[in-house]
Amino acid sequence: MSTQHSSAPGGRVWKQWATAVIGGLALAGVANAHHSFSVFDMTTEKTLEGDIVEFQWTNPHTWTWVSVKGADGKVTRWGLEGMSPNFLGRRGWSKNTFKPGDHVKMIIAPLKSGEPGGTLMRATLANGTEVVNFGRPPGGGPVLPPE
């Protein structure tokens, strides 16, 4: 499945969804699983394209390390937090979803600090498969975490 992100809902829609769900959970007394999203800019979707360095299938979060070549040719290693192996493993992911050297296109919410990191929303693998880590995918499909 190939996907186009140009028609994706903008940050405003995501922000409304995130505010409603995360705020609703807090009001319901549903504890946040591990941490707040305060370090991430959840209103921005940034596209990254690069090669997987390592996919760490670890708790409390998976970490995807990816080498991204900038317009100036300089390669930067980005660190992307993801949902846990426990959560993703029950939703179609495995420790082999990303392998070192895989070329992937990723949609992330970047760190507010400007450092090369963020939280992974979804990714398109070299074979066109899209995998959703967190949030509402454009054009429908499963929402993670479930509403």
Are the beta carbons of 123 and 133 closer than 8 angstroms? yes
Is 77 near other proteins (CB under 8 A)?
A: yes
Determine, following the binding rule CB under 8 A, whether residue 39 of this chain makes contact with other proteins: yes
Stretch that binds other proteins, among 44-52, 59-67, 101-109, 123-131 (CB under 8 A): 59-67
Q: Return the number of the residue (117 or 137) whose C-beta is nearest other proteins.
A: 117
**Per-residue H/E/C for 34-56:** CCCCCCECCCCCEEEEEEEEEEE
Q: Which two tokens stand for residue 136?
A: 């509402």
When asked if residue 11 is in the footprint of other proteins (CB under 8 A), the reply is no
Which backbone phi and psi does 63 adopt, to 5 degrees?
A: -130, 125
How many Å apart are CA 56 and CA 34, to the nearest integer? Answer: 18
Q: Which is nearer to other proteins, 44 or 56 (CB)?
A: 56
Token pair of 127 as six digits: 């074979």
Site string for other proteins, 83-122 (x = CB under 8 A): -xxxx-xx--------------------x---xxx-----
Closer residue to other proteins, CB minimum distance, 76 or 129: 76
Contacts of residue 85, defined as CB under 8 A and 6 or more positions apart, other chains included, come to 57, 58, 59, 62, 93, 95
Residues binding other proteins (CB under 8 A) = 16-17, 20-21, 23-36, 38-39, 53-54, 56, 58-61, 63, 65, 77, 79, 81, 84-87, 89-90, 111, 115-117, 145-147
